């Protein structure tokens, strides 16, 4: 199997697994939200966010570093994991305690302590499972790694739905996640031991500290990305009531599901951009520009349709009690094209070995969010958090594009944005004018206008699609 084909196959396996895992998680969140209400969903979401940040300070970026090292020589896996596991287990206990205390302080509700303990514990245990999966990922045994992750998500879904079906508590649903994480740890330990040898556990803090220092660049990027992604819920929980947090969390969870196609598209494009960049940065820039156009052709229509029918979507997924999340969804959905294009620019920068610039840009975006979000939340409540996310995502995109421009590798984006943007604006105007029509008739008309506008205004370019297919799926 060629390198390109192996990359493509692994990308497909990971993408499908991640898509199925996120769908399973989304189904669980919908059931949880309907069963326990917005306030409890807010508690759950804050615990997830704080637990994810705490988990970064357990791994300290070692996963990324070890994937690189074990990819070169996996014979060191048993001894290296044996040194890291005891230290990270100790850090996990400390991080879990701190995460629980911080979360309870943020939500100001000690009655939710059991739920908080379970959810934070899940995030911490998931970090330990990820460490044990590293040798499988490093040796490109993606079907085992992806299969284990998907299986544990499905197990959590089944147990969680059973708990809710038989009248269990929210904390009981959280415990289903603990069970899933422990099963994933057992799976990763078994599969890794079978192929690379059982980790030789020993307490060696000095050696572990050396590994943490070597992994510090990965830790920096992971910490910035995690804090940036989880920051809205954490800040919102500190400045608003739990019910508001729950409404925001409902829209935020929907956006994770809505962004799956964009995420898988970026995963498939990245190997092609890296491969093309080895021959010519100019060709890689051209490929990135084509990919941005293709992504915007799909993400702009999705964004406008979700904006128009946000209230119907929220009511269908979460119920009438969550209709307050409509305004949040209408704002957050426009991060879909921005984050998608941002991811493609980040892929080009990574292919050009500009990781330091990416980290600096992420730090600037995080600082901007830390300043902007409190002001908008205090003035607009939970909708302000959505606006802060959208504005900072736009800033992040601009910073990435600026980095590429300094390297004379900035892809032309004016036409890529104007054509689908004009089609979307036309669709919004027509939808507003036809607000009196019956919903099915209005939907059909809106889709027809949107499709015609995309073709007439030149947003859809068939030769771009053919070019991308040839690059991602070479005939060799």
- Quote the DSSP letter at residue 412: P
409 backbone dihedrals φ, ψ, rounded to 5° = -130, 25
- If one counts every other C-beta atom within 10 angstroms of the C-beta of residue 142, the result is 18
Nearest to 459 by CA among 414, 404, 393, 406: 414
The dihedral through the CA atoms of 274, 276, 279, 284 has a sign that is negative
Q: What is d(CA 342, CA 392) in angstroms, rounded to the nearest whole number?
A: 12
Reply yes or no on whether the pLDDT at 468 is more than 60: no
Q: Are 81 and 283 in contact (CB under 8 A)?
A: no
What integer pLDDT is reported at residue 269 of this predicted model? 72
Determine the longest span between alpha carbons in the chain, in angstroms. 71
Q: Find all residues with CB under 8 Å of 240, minimum gap 6, and list them.
A: 377, 381, 382
Q: Which residue has the tokens 């939808």?
A: 431
pLDDT tens digits along 402-439: 998 888 888 887 777 888 888 888 888 888 887 777 77
Q: Quick count: other Cβ atoms within 10 Å of Cβ 4?
A: 16
Say whether pTM exceeds 0.85.
no
Task: Give the span between the Cα atoms of 385 and 232, in whole angstroms.
Answer: 6
- Model pLDDT for residues 308-346, shown as the tens digit of each residue: 888 889 988 888 889 888 999 999 999 989 988 888 888
What was the pLDDT predicted at 439? 72
Nearest CA-CA partner of 28 in 371, 352, 281, 257: 257
**Per-residue pLDDT at 3:** 43
């Amino acid at each position: 199997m060629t390198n390109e084909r192996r990359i493509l196959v692994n990308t497909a396996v990971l993408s499908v697994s991640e898509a199925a895992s996120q769908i399973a998680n989304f189904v669980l969140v919908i059931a949880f939200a309907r069963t326990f209400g917005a306030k409890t969903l807010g508690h759950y979401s804050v615990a997830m966010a704080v637990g994810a940040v705490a988990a970064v300070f357990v791994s300290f970026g070692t996963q990324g570093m070890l994937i690189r090292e074990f990819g070169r020589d996996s014979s060191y896996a048993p001894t290296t994991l044996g040194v890291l596991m005891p230290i990270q287990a100790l850090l996990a206990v400390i991080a879990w305690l701190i995460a629980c205390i911080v979360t309870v302080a943020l939500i100001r509700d000690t009655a939710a302590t059991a739920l908080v303990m379970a959810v934070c514990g899940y995030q911490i245990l998931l970090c330990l499972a990820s460490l044990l999966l590293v040798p499988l990922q490093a040796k490109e045994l993606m079907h085992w790694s992806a299969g284990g992750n998907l299986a544990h998500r499905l197990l959590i879904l089944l147990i969680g739905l059973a708990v809710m079906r038989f009248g269990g508590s929210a904390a009981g649903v959280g415990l289903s996640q603990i069970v899933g994480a422990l099963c994933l740890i057992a799976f990763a330990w078994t599969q890794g031991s079978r192929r690379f040898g059982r980790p030789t556990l020993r307490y060696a803090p000095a050696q572990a500290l050396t590994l943490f220092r070597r992994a510090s660049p990965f830790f920096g990027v992971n910490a910035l990305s995690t804090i940036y992604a989880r920051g809205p819920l954490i800040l919102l929980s500190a400045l608003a009531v739990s019910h508001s947090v729950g409404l925001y969390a409902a829209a935020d969870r929907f956006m994770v599901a809505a962004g799956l196609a964009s995420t898988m598209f970026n995963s498939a494009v990245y190997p092609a951009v890296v491969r093309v960049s080895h021959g010519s940065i100019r060709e890689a820039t051209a490929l990135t520009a084509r990919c941005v156009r293709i992504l915007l052709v799909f993400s702009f229509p999705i964004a406008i349709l979700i904006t128009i029918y946000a209230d119907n979507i929220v009511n269908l997924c979460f119920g009438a009690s969550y209709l307050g999340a409509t305004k949040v969804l209408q704002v957050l959905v426009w991060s879909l094209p921005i984050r998608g294009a941002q991811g493609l620019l980040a892929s080009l920068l990574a292919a050009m070995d500009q990781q330091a610039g990416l980290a600096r840009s992420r730090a600037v975006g995080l600082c901007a969010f830390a300043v902007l979000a409190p002001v908008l939340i205090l003035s607009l409540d939970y909708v302000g958090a959505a606006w802060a996310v959208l504005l900072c995502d736009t800033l992040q995109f601009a910073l990435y594009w600026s980095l590429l421009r300094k390297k004379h590798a900035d892809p032309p984006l004016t036409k890529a944005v104007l054509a689908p943007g004009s089609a979307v604006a036309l669709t919004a105007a027509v939808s507003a004018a036809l607000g009196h029509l019956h919903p099915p008739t209005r939907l059909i008309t809106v889709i027809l206008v949107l499709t015609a506008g995309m073709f007439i205004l030149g947003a859809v370019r068939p030769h771009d699609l053919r070019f991308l297919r040839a690059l991602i799926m070479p005939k060799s």
